[in-house]
Chains A and B, each alone.
Chain A
Amino acid sequence: MAALSMLKSLRKCATHHLSNFRPSFCHHVASISRSLSTLVLAEHESGSIKASSMSAVVAAACLSEKSSISVLLAGSGSSLHEAAKRAASCHHSVSQVLVADSDKFVYPLAEPWAKLVDLIQQEHCYSHIVAASSSFGKNVLPRAAALLDVSPVTDVIEISESHLFVRPIYAGNALCTVRYTGTNPCMLTIRSTSFPVPLMSDASENEAPISQVDLSTFDEDDFSKSRFVKNTSQDTDRPDLGNARVVITGGRGLKSAENFKMIEKLAEKLGGAVGATRAAVDAGFVPNDLQVGQTGKIVAPELYIAFGVSGAIQHLAGMRDSKVIVAVNKDSDAPIFQVADYGLVGDLFTVIPELLEKLPAKH
C-alpha cells in the first residue's frame, strides 16, 4: 500500500533530497504555506524514540511544506538523554527537542503530562500538537486539549490540509473528513499505520538544540493524586504487533491457549507477530495486548493471516488496511472471506501444520 510504494520510490531516488519528497499519504497542501510550528508528544524506551512517535513526527511534517517540529520527551536518567539526542537528529524538520527531566515522569501519567503540555503551549504557542494514537497519546492528548479548551481530532488517518483531517468512524465502516475551525493549538492523534516511517531515515545531519523544560511550577499536588503501581507486559523479543510486516491471528477456532502455540510457530517461521481476536482474549487463550480490532490494536501489515476468525465488524476494523489478507476457516460463510484476498475453507488444525512444513524458511 502506501508504505510499499514509498519504499520503492525511495530506493529509486536514493540520492534525492528527502525534504523534497512528498510521501503519498501527505496530501496536497495549500500553496500558501504558513510556516507552522508543531509540538510532538513523544514516547521513548531504552534510549530510543518509539516507532509510533516517529510516525507522529512524519505526520507533523505533513501538516505544511514549512514545518518546524519540537519534540517533547519526559522521563529521567541516561535513557531519556539518549532518546533526546536521537530525537534531535531524527528528522530534518525537527528544530528543537524539549526535555522534562524528573523522576516523577518515569511512568507517563496523564495528569502531569497534560499539565506539562499546557505549560509548554502557554509559553511557545504552537499551531499544532500531535501525538500517536497509542495508549499514551489517547490517554494524554484529550486531557491536555481540555486544559487548553480546544476540541482535538483523534485517530487521524489522513492529513488533507493543515486543518483538514480524515478519521474513521463506526469501526472504520465510514470515513469522516473534519475541519478544525478553532484557535491554536490544533491538536491531533494520528494512527501510526497511516503514517509509516521510511526505512531510509529522514535523519538530519544537524542536531537540533535540546532544552530542559522548567518544571519549577509543578508542585507535589500535581504528581500525588495518581500513582503508578506496576505493569505486566509480554516479552519483548516478539516483533511489535503494531509495526510487524506479517501478522498471524488466531480466533476462537483455536479452541485453547495450548493450540495458540501453533500460531506462534507459524509467526516465528514467517518473522511475524501474533494477533488475536477479542473472542480469543476473552476466552483466556492469549493476553489482551494481542487483540486486534476496533478497540484493540490497529494493524496494517503486508500479510495478515487469520485462522479460525469469523470476521466480526469490530475485528475487521483493526486489520482491513492490511495489504494482503488470508483467511482460513472451516465455515465458508464466515464474513472474513468477504475481505480476504485469498480464502481457504478448511480445518486450521491440518492447514497450519501443512504450512509449517511447506513454507520456505525466513531469510
Chain B
Amino acid sequence: MTMKIMVAVKRVVDYAVKIRVKSDKSGVDTSNVKMSMNPFCEIALEEALRIKESGLASEVVAVSMGPAQCIDTLRTGLAMGADRAIHVDYSATLYPLSVAKLLKALVDVEKPGLLILGKQAIDDDCNQTGQMVAGLLNWPQGTFASKVVLDKEKKVATVDREVDGGLETLSLDLPAVITTDLRLNQPRYAKLPNIMKAKSKKIEKFTVQDLKVEIKSDLEIVQVTEPPKRKAGINVSSVDELIDKLKNEAHVI
C-alpha cells in the first residue's frame, strides 16, 4: 500500500526568544529575531518520518503557508527527511480557518492517507488548525497525540491522547488527522549530508488562487499589549520567615 503522509509545518519565532511587544501595540517585534520550525511541527514531521521508515508509508510531503521565508522552514523539513515540499505563497495574515481550507485543497490534490500537524503554534497558541481541517475533510481526528500506532492492513490508527484527566486512547479509521503533543517523540537533527541533499529536493509552489480558496477575514487584531507586570517579590531567608509571610502578610495559609 503506498500511503502518503502530509505534514503541515509553520515558521515561528524560536521558542527560546524573549519576545518584545512593539510600542505602537500593533504586534510582537519579529524583526531580527531568530525564527525556527514550530516545535510541535518538528514532532509532527518526525512522526511522519518514523512511520515511513517503518515501512508503513511511501512518501512524506511537507507543506508550509506564508511568505517566501517559509521556504527556509521547508528546507529544514527536507533536510530532516521529507521527500517533497509544497509552499503556498501568501504574504498577508493567515488565520487557522484559511490555513485549514488551504490544507484541505492540498489534501484533495495529494490524497494522503494521514495528515499530521503540531497541536498548536507557539506564536499564536491557537490550537485550532488540525481540528478545523479534520472537520472540513470529514476525517476523524486524534488531537494532542502522545503515541500513534498504525495498523496498515486494517487502515486504522490507534492514538493515545493527552487530556485533562490523563490519557485517552482512540481508534481512528484512515485517512485521519493527527495533531502532535510534546511527548510523542524527540525530533531528529538534520545531518549535514541530508542538508546538502535537501538543496536538490523539490519545493512546489501554489498560490491561493491555484487552490481556489477564498481567504476569509472575520477576525481583526485590535492591539497587542504586554501582560500586567507582577509586583516585585522578596527573598526570605528561612522557612520560619516564609511561613510568617504567607500567614501574616499574604494571608494564604
Show the binding face of A for B, using Cβ within 8 Å.
Answer: 109-111, 114, 134-136, 138-147, 149-155, 164, 168-183, 224-234, 242, 246, 270, 278, 281-282, 287-289, 294-295, 297, 302-303, 313-314, 320, 323-326, 337, 339-345, 351, 354-355, 358-360
Contacts and interface: CB of A to CB of B under 8 A. Distances in A.
Given A288-B183, A325-B233, A341-B250, A229 B135 contact: no
B230 A320 contact: yes
B170 A227 contact: yes
A174 B144 contact: no
B181 interface: yes
Given A142-B135, A360-B253, A154 B127 contact: yes
Contacts of B183: 281-282, 288
Contact of B242 (A114, A282, A326): A326
Given A146-B136, A154-B127, A341 B169 contact: no
Contacts of A234: 165-166
Nearest to B136: A146
Given A146-B136, A175-B225, A303-B246, A169 B239 contact: no
Interface of chain A, helix or strand or loop or mixed?
mixed
A183 B216 CA distance: 11
Contacts of A175: 224-227
B100 A302 contact: no
Contacts of A320: 227, 230
B122 interface: yes
B97 interface: yes
Nearest to A339: B230
Interface stretch (B1-9, B14-22, B52-60, B66-74): B14-22
A138 B162 CA distance: 12
B125 A146 contact: no
25 contacts: A110-B131, A135-B161, A142-B96, A149-B97, A152-B128, A154-B126, A169-B123, A170-B122, A176-B224, A177-B222, A177-B225, A178-B221, A179-B220, A224-B173, A229-B169, A229-B170, A233-B166, A288-B146, A288-B162, A303-B253, A341-B230, A341-B234, A342-B250, A344-B236, A345-B235
A323 B251 CA distance: 11
A136 B139 CA distance: 18
A16 B141 CA distance: 47
A344 B246 CA distance: 13
Nearest to A168: B125
A114 B125 contact: no
Contact of A164 (B13, B218, B222, B252): B222
Interface in B114-129: 119-120, 122-129
Contacts of B168: 228, 230-231
B236 A145 contact: no
Interface in B93-127: 95-97, 100, 119-120, 122-127
Interface of B is mostly: mixed
A179 B222 contact: yes
A231 B166 contact: yes
Given A178-B221, A295-B181, A344-B242, A170 B19 contact: yes
A353 B144 CA distance: 37
B211 to A, nearest CB: 16
A169 B224 contact: yes
A212 B141 CA distance: 27
Between A111, A180, A183, the greatest number of chain B beta carbons within 10 A of the residue's beta carbon is seen for: A111
B128 A154 contact: yes
A168 B143 CA distance: 21
B239 A354 contact: yes
Nearest to A355: B239
